[in-house]
């Protein structure tokens, strides 16, 4: 995301200068997308070299460790079937390794962004790594097209208004 500081603002009316700025901005966006894609790919392949991940128990071990789990989950982990943890562990590896491919296919892009948001939301909730989860969800915005960005911004602004009205009403009671 560091590369985004180099994205130019579109202030010039000079057509040639504007074309250069647009090309530079596109290059920076592509570099950011490449960086995030490689982050997932390398992380996924690194997990395949770890016995705890390849045996399917990595997420289980994380949830039973009181240092990495939230108390509710830590206290109730015994009621969750083992196959669920194996499924989550392998799904995480599969998502990370296939991210660079499926994020660039029109048919799977939206689904992959949603799966990524859910993955990182669950990391935030289960492991308590709030900043990591939020940062990764926000970093996915570099893959949005204009239409997706407008929908998401509209959703956020509409719901922020509703939330602020609800808070104001509760405060006045």
pLDDT in tens, 64-89: 888 877 777 777 778 889 899 999 99
User: Are 90 and 56 in contact, with CB atoms under 8 Å apart?
Assistant: yes
**pLDDT category, 35, cuts 50, 70, 90?**
very high
User: Are 56 and 85 in contact, with CB atoms under 8 Å apart?
Assistant: yes
Structure tokens at 23: 């090309």
Distance CA 66, CA 77 (A): 11
Distance CA 112, CA 148 (A): 13
Prediction pTM value: 0.75
Distance CA 172, CA 156 (A): 24
- Residue 132, CA atoms < 13 Å, CB-side half-sphere: 10
User: Are 155 and 121 in contact, with CB atoms under 8 Å apart?
Assistant: no
* Average pLDDT score over the chain: 81
- CA 21 to chain centroid, in Å, comes to 28
Structure tokens at 110: 């939206």
Structure tokens at 104: 């660039």
Q: What is the pLDDT of residues 93-140, one digit of tens each?
A: 999 999 999 999 989 998 999 899 999 988 888 887 888 888 898 888
């Amino acid at each position: 995301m560091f590369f985004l500081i180099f994205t130019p603002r579109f202030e010039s009316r000079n057509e040639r200068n504007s074309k250069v700025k647009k090309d530079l901005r596109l290059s920076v966006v592509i570099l950011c997308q490449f960086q995030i894609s490689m982050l997932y790919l390398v992380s996924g392949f690194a997990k395949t070299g770890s016995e705890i991940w390849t045996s399917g128990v990595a997420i289980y071990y994380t949830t039973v460790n009181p240092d990495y789990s939230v108390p509710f989950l830590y206290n109730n982990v015994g009621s969750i079937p083992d196959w669920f943890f194996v499924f989550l562990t392998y799904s995480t590896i599969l998502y990370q390794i296939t991210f660079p491919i499926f994020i660039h296919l029109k048919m799977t892009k939206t689904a992959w962004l949603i799966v990524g948001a859910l993955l990182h939301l669950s990391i935030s909730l289960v492991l308590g790594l709030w900043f990591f989860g939020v940062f990764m969800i926000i970093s996915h915005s570099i893959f949005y097209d204009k239409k997706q960005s407008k929908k998401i911004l509209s959703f956020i602004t509409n719901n922020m208004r509703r939330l602020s009205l609800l808070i104001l009403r509760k405060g006045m009671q």
